[in-house]
A and B are shown apart, each in its own frame.
Chain A
Amino acid sequence: KQEVTQIPAALSVPEGENLVLNCSFTDSAIYNLQWFRQDPGKGLTSLLLIQSSQREQTSGRLNASLDKSSGRSTLYIAASQPGDSATYLCAVSAETSGSRLTFGEGTQLTVNP
């Protein structure tokens, strides 16, 4: 059974700092890995999707990397802003889980002005 773990559970940083969020998964036979953002009381917004054959994806100040063999992904946020404050969730789609998305519990990020 696929398990997804995110570290840290919560992170508070001053504005302007670069930061890294971590995600690990137990089953490396994945189709893809996605990073989502969830604002309080809202649904999830997909930020980046990395196919199993890719190593990284970039969108603006966000960069996500994937090391499938070690079961790890990182989300790098450059020059953080207060508007980046949210919960970030990692999710994987793996063959052994019937192609369903398995989510981590998220990292709650607070960027202080």
Chain B
Amino acid sequence: GQNIDQPTEMTATEGAIVQINCTYQTSGFNGLFWYQQHAGEAPTFLSYNVLDGLEEKGRFSSFLSRSKGYSYLLLKELQMKDSASYLCAVYTNAGKSTFGDGTTLTVKP
């Protein structure tokens, strides 16, 4: 089976940097995705990592270490609109994807 862990809640200040961690255990790993979900809305894609290392995309970066079963999402220059739930999802080579329970980020002024 697959097991994905991420913190339930985080709080950060506008303009700051926040790192959301995700650890996973899976067989047939074939990629890790991060999605953003605002309350009452569907998830939207942020980034994904297949190989080890850092992927940067504007204010958002995601890191993966396959040997450690670890990823993080880094959000820079936080804005109030970044308050949302951030979902880590593991994709297997069978095509199945499993989501973590999400981290609710609250950005305060």
A binds B: no
